Structures are given as structure tokens and as C-alpha cells.
Structure 1
Amino acid sequence: MSNSAIQSVLFVCMGNICRSPTAEAVFRKKAHDKGLMITIDSAGTIGAHAREKPDHRAVKAGEARGYDFSGIKARKVASKDFESFDLILAMDNDNFENLQAIAPDQYRDKVKLFLSYGSEFDDTEVPDPYYGGAGGFRYVLDLVEDASNGLIKAIAK
């Protein structure tokens, strides 16, 4: 699938309360600002936090930069997601491998590492800020903003 055919994106981390909802909120704003009509969602590879709102520290860091987290609630990746979404972006290698393990063969090529779209950082994975301080959440935002900009450019080509 070419990048111009991307009409839907799913961001995935483990619990869907820090990294992937941050990516959802950031990418939603950036896509909206560019006038792109794209379905955007996030999910986790585990369902331990299902129906919970994003971590308050992720929300605080994101809102400080103008991102809106309203309506975002944690959920587990569902088998129908592999068919429904054009692009499924994992926040790290563990989640990439977990997604590859459960993806039907014909949809495995939809799964990619989110930071493969970034250009300003050497990181290949978005680190999990859950057990750290506020600085970790801000760094996640830096990485997510960079990769979101790259993804917007790739889709808009």
C-alpha cells in the first residue's frame, strides 16, 4: 500500500495509557491542521487498562503543548483492527513483535515501528515513561511530534 492510500492509522503500545494515546492526540491535531481526513485510534497489546483514560501525566504534558485527549480510552488491539486500519504503528520492538505474532499473514505488512517516520532523533523506539518522571513524558512528546511530522509528510506525498 502506498502512503497516499493511507486513510486510517492505529497507534499501539502495551497498555494504551501513555505512549499510544499521546500519539493519537498528537497525530489527530497534526492531521487536522493539514486538512487530512484520516481515521485515527490507539490500542494496547494488553487489556489491563481497558476503558481507562490516558495517564494523567501524559495528558498534562500533552495539554501543555495544545493536544486534546478527550474521548480517548484504553482498549486492547482487536483482530478486526488488522483489516480495518491501513497502518498499525508500534511504539517499540516488543509491541511490534507482539503485533506481528497476532496479525493475520496478509496484514503483517501494515505493522511498522512508529519512529521509522521520525528524522530528528536517533531513537528507534518510544520509551515507556510510566515508571519515570515528567521529563519522560515530555521526551515521548518530542519523539511523537517528530514521527507524526514525518508520517504527515509521507501521507501527503
Structure 2
Amino acid sequence: MKIFSILFVCHGNICRSPTAEGVMRARLAQAGLLSRVVVDSAGTHGYHVGEAPDARSVKAAASRGYDLASQRARQVADEDFAAFDLILAADSRNLADLRRRCPAHLQDRLHLMLEPLGEGREVPDPYYGGCRGFEEVLDLLEAACEGWLEQLRSRHDWMAS
């Protein structure tokens, strides 16, 4: 069975990317695809390696039924560029960091998380704001994950069955 892999990336891997991982994991489970798609998250920087997601992310996600509790922050590794079929950055700054590190022949795997919602759209960083920012991030990521899932189904026959 073909396994597809997705890596969500933000700056520190404690807000946006773990939330995206949790949302996509839930969407894949609902679609019966969790055994066919591997989902992970990482940060372009290692400030929070080993830490749990931000408590505000965990709380906001839990209020919508997403469980982030077992996740731990990690930094993007060079091996990730070959290991993941799709690498989704939260914003253009993180995408630029990834592009600098990614081998030329794997650059087509790099995209913005919100690409299904429109070219150039970015997930705002809620870290320094209030709780409403974490809800906004969830709104955006729920819509984007649905968009990515539809794109993947249309491109990969084995996901549609």
C-alpha cells in the first residue's frame, strides 16, 4: 500500500504546525485515510525542541475535538526533504527558510499551508496575541486541510478508494 507523507512547518513548532497536524490527522481519520497518510510537524528553528504545543493551541484545538497533547516540538531535519511528499509552511518566511535548505530536485514539495485558500495566503502567528488568534488559526487550517485533502484525492487514485 502506498503511504503518502505530509509535514507541516512553522517557526517554533508549538502553535501553527502542531495545530495543522492535529486538524489534518482528524480529517484523515474521518476520511478513512489515516493508515495511508503520515502526518507530522516541525519548526524551522529549534527554540522549543521537546516541548508540548502552546497551552493556548492545545485548549483551542481541544474545544473543537482535536488532540495535540502527545505532540512534541522538533526542528526540521535535512532528511525531512526526502522523507515527506508534501511540506507545508505556515508563512512566506518559513517557506523561504525551507527553500534555502531544500535540495533543488525536491523544491516542488514545498508549499504554503493555505495554498488551497488562495495564492500567497499565510497563517498568522498567534503566539503574541490573544486567544482569538488561536481560533482564527483553527478556522484557516480547517479550511486549508479540507482543500489539501480534496487536492490529494484528485491527484492520487488510491486515496479516493
What is the distance in 1 between the residues matched to 2:28 and 2:113? 15
The residue aligned with 1:62 is 61
Distance 1:135 1:123 in 2: 22
Residue aligning to 1:149 = 146
**Structure-2 change in CA distance of 1:132 and 1:123 (3 Å):** farther
1:120-135 equivalences in 2 (<5 Å): 124-135=121-132
Deviations 1:90-131, CA, capped at 9 Å, x for gaps: 000000000000001111110001100226xx9700000000
With normalisation by structure 2, the TM-score equals: 0.90
Percent identity over the alignment is 50
- Higher relative contact order by CA 8 Å / sep ≥ 6: 1 or 2? 1
Whole-angstrom CA distance in 2 between matches of 1:140 and 1:81:
24
Tell me, in whole angstroms, the C-alpha distance in 1 between the residues paired with 2:153 and 2:101.
Answer: 30
Tell me, which stretches of 5 or more residues in structure 1 are unaligned? none
Structure 1 runs of 4+ off > 3 angstroms?
none
Quote the Cα distance in structure 2 between the aligned partners of 1:77 and 1:42.
8
User: Aligned partners of 2:135, 2:5: CA distance in 1, in Å?
Assistant: 26
Q: Distance in 1 between matches of 2:65 and 2:153?
A: 23
CA deviation profile, 1:35-66 (whole Å, cap 9, x unmatched): 11200000000001000000000000000000
Unaligned segments of structure 2, at least 5 residues: 155-161
Write the letter of the residue equivalent to 2:128.
Answer: Y
Total equivalences in the alignment: 151
TM-score, reference length from structure 1:
0.93
